[in-house]
Chain A
Amino acid sequence: MPTLASLKPGESAFVTLLDEGSYTCKLLNLGILPKAKVTMVRKSPFGGAFYIKLERHQLAMRTEEAETIYIEQEL
């Protein structure tokens, strides 16, 4: 299954599943949960991190964090 890290800037998708691990708790608290729509806005200037947009708010996360979020193009 593709993860959020595989999206190109400008692309959107829906969260299907979170890879359970040390990031899960934090992701849930920030509103990343199954069925949420996520948009990859851009990469950080020196790489390694992404600017992600959800329905109403923006988040920054590292590549390895985004790799724990499984996505699908459509629900």
Chain B
Amino acid sequence: MTKADRFNIALLGNPNSGKSSLFNFLTGLRQDVSNFPGVTVDKKSGRYTLHNGIEAHIIDFPGTYSVYPNSSEEKLVINILADADNPHRPDLVIYVADITQLERHLLFATQIVDMGYPMVFVLNMTDLVEKDGSSIYLNGMKQYLGVPIICISVRDEKNMEELESKIEDLVEKLDRLSASPLYQLSDIETFVAGRVQKYLGLENIYTAKIISHHYQWLEFLSQDQRKYISDIIARSGFNDLKLQVRETMQRYDSYSEVVKKTVISNKKTLKSRTDQIDEWITHRFIGPLIFFVVMLFVFQSIYSWATYPMDWIETGFATAGSKMNNFLPDVWWSDLIINGLMAGMGGVLVFVPQIAVLFFLLSILEESGYMSRVVFMFDSIMQKFGMNGRSMVSLISSGACAIPAIMATRTISNPKERLITILVSPLVSCSARLPVYAVLIAFAVPDIKIFGILNVQGLAFMGLYLLGILGALGSALVFKKILKSDSGSFLMIELPDYKPPIWKNVLLSVKAKVIAFIAGAGKIIVFISVILWFLASFGPGDALKNAEMEAIQKSEATGKSIEAQNNLIASYKIEASYIGHMGKWIEPAIAPLGFDWKIGIALLTSFAAREVFVGTMATIYSIGNDNDEKTIREKMAAEVRPGTDIKVYTTATSFSLLVFYVFAMQCMSTLAIVKRETNTWKWPIVQFLFMSVLAYFSSLMVYQLMG
């Protein structure tokens, strides 16, 4: 894809400028979210048809404060803006600024103007200014910037037609009104940038200055070019930080008077609404309390709202499967379609309701401005564990499901803090562990009450959750020590004014997350499901056929019903299959944990998803597709070790198995999403290994101490 075949419009601006809302307005539903090549930075792009029929390509760039970047997102923006040959290079910039934060939001705008980009300067959130009775005067600003300016309010969809016609006008004649730079380069800057400009053959000297600042990491520079720039800088005494301070101050000085004449406030507000809200929301005691209530609500909503659609999806797939079973011929590929592919797709779709509900609520919290307060309040605690205030949200969401929790780590800007959050989140007990806990706690813990009210089994549940949290925090401490960080950690964030969320943004963000999950992790999940299906449906040589014969003979000898016979066949078959062999093969390794090969099979199939444990147990104990926990429990309770009358599911084995399920990484969907979010197989593999080791040794300890 070369630059020439399309017209690029870039949406640029500071974070919280309302840029993305404008993007959503301009592109409507004709947008897609992908990654910028090579990095996990969301690229939101959409089509926009101009009235002369030209299809423009609008890209919503990550929020940026200035040409001096602090995050990988911002670096990406500078990489594109400073590179004359980049395929994403804009032909026109729509710069969005929050009019209530004009002074700060102008900084980056003046820099883009100096880079020579044709620009429309959009002042957003004029509704807020007008509401408190202030007036807006644009003449001075127009003269200063030398570009068309328009006031809009995306929230009220005010002045949007005018914006669109301004864009049209600019596309017709792409140039700036005044060509004089807004920033006067110092002597050293003129010298260095002048040389670099000539050497690289650039049109714009300010762009050459930016390249000189960032030559070490700008991707489009060749080794030779880097060497040349570094030599010039070494000779000239070009000091990055001093020059950045100089430039920033000069720019602020040059426009601070203009800003004062642009928005004229009529009343002196003593305390804004945001100040009043924050007295409670960020209060020393009440603040954290409010947070836990909010999170409790989020957590409950995921459980209660997502359960219904999840049930529909599960029953839907089960019904479709049995319908197709009747209609497809009785051959291996029918089984592949029903129990391999369809089960895999069901396994992907079943997570969609949880992802949708979580991101619906999280994006409301994000849009309203609450999330940055959470970061402020919990930063210091999470810091001790090598994480960030935002990690708090992911860890809590993991209590429902690790997948949306890991997807939510995108907002953590420090790579090390984000990685630790991704690695430890799955240790917090998710909802898929619940059915396993429910079956096993019944063996391990008596159903009695202490002090007349506290149910011991309930306490055991709580203990398992606490164990998961401790595991997560403990592992985080270890990773904090081991992992290296190449970028410094900082808090420094804006606490934006509170605003009601824009619903369109909320819904579009939910849609984007759901699509990202299905497209990114879905393929891997379906693939692994098919492999697991293969392992459970085939065995070496004629093993499966023989097992079936044996089961039929046995059930005929004892005169069982057809259903009981089918269940027995299934049980014999899984034992004879590859996965049955694998279960027996790993038995020596898991015997010290108190597990037999049947549990081994369940551990292996649980890799599809933890709740599969219950279903596998049902198959092994030939109870058929009846996933009734009570039946399974009775079967398991009666199970004895071959040749003895020692029970398999003793308290020690049950506890050992419980602890194993708390710590083990038995969720291919999580691994698939970790692969997607970290862009490498390295981290899902590391995660799988450390969680397996943790699970193995914890179970070993439990069994050996109790057994």
Contact = CB atoms under 8 A, between A and B. Distances in A.
A48 interface: yes
Contact of A60 (B242, B252, B372): B372
B101 A56 contact: yes
Contacts of B379: 44, 48-49, 60, 62
A59 B495 contact: yes
B494 interface: yes
Interface stretch (B277-285, B318-326, B337-345, B651-659): B277-285
Contacts of A25: 68, 70, 241, 244
Contacts, number: 116
Nearest to B65: A29
B103 A47 contact: no
B245 A46 contact: no
A59 B494 contact: yes
B381 interface: yes
A6 interface: no
B492 A27 contact: yes
A61 B278 contact: no
A33 B104 CA distance: 11
Interface string A17-33: 01010111111111101
Contacts of B380: 44, 46-49, 62
A62 B389 CA distance: 12
A26 to B, nearest CB: 5
B244 A24 contact: yes
A51 B103 contact: no
A23 B244 contact: no
Contacts of B576: none
Given A28-B68, A44-B377, A58 B492 contact: no
Majority SS of interface residues in chain B?
helix
B107 interface: yes
A45 interface: yes
Interface in A34-75: 34, 41-49, 51, 53, 55-62, 65
Contact of A56 (B100, B278, B285, B491): B100
Given A28-B68, A31-B104, A60-B376, A23 B492 contact: yes
A12 B496 CA distance: 20
A46 B375 CA distance: 12
A37 to B, nearest CB: 12
A29 B248 CA distance: 8
B490 interface: yes
Contacts of A53: 275
Nearest to B284: A45
Given A56-B100, A56-B101, A58-B278, A49 B491 contact: yes
Interface residues of B, number: 43
Interface in B267-310: 274-275, 278, 282-285, 287-288
B278 A51 contact: yes
B249 interface: yes
B66 interface: yes
B500 interface: no
A51 B65 contact: no
Interface range on chain A (Cβ under 8 Å from partner):
20 to 34
Nearest to B104: A31
Contacts of B495: 51, 57-60
B25 interface: no
Interface string B478-518: 00000000001011111111000000000000000000000
A28 B248 contact: yes
Interface centre among A41, A53, A56 (most CB of B within 10 A): A56
B383 interface: yes
A11 to B, nearest CB: 16
Interface string B532-546: 000000000000000
Interface string B227-253: 000000000000001101100110010
A51 B282 contact: yes
A47 B378 CA distance: 9
Contacts of B241: 20, 24-25
Interface string B93-124: 00000001101100100000000000000000
Given A25-B68, A25-B241, A29-B66, A57 B248 contact: no
B71 to A, nearest CB: 9
B376 A49 contact: yes
Nearest to B283: A45
Interface centre among B70, B372, B375, B491 (most CB of A within 10 A): B491
Interface in B360-405: 372, 375-381, 383
A55 B260 CA distance: 12
When A and B form their complex, which 7 residue pairs have the shortest distance between CB atoms, in order from nearest? A48-B380, A29-B65, A60-B376, A58-B495, A62-B491, A31-B104, A28-B248
Interface of B: 65-66, 68, 70, 100-101, 103-104, 107, 241-242, 244-245, 248-249, 252, 274-275, 278, 282-285, 287-288, 372, 375-381, 383, 488, 490-497
17 contacts: A23-B492, A26-B490, A28-B66, A29-B66, A30-B65, A30-B494, A41-B278, A44-B379, A44-B380, A45-B288, A49-B491, A51-B282, A57-B101, A57-B494, A58-B497, A60-B375, A62-B492
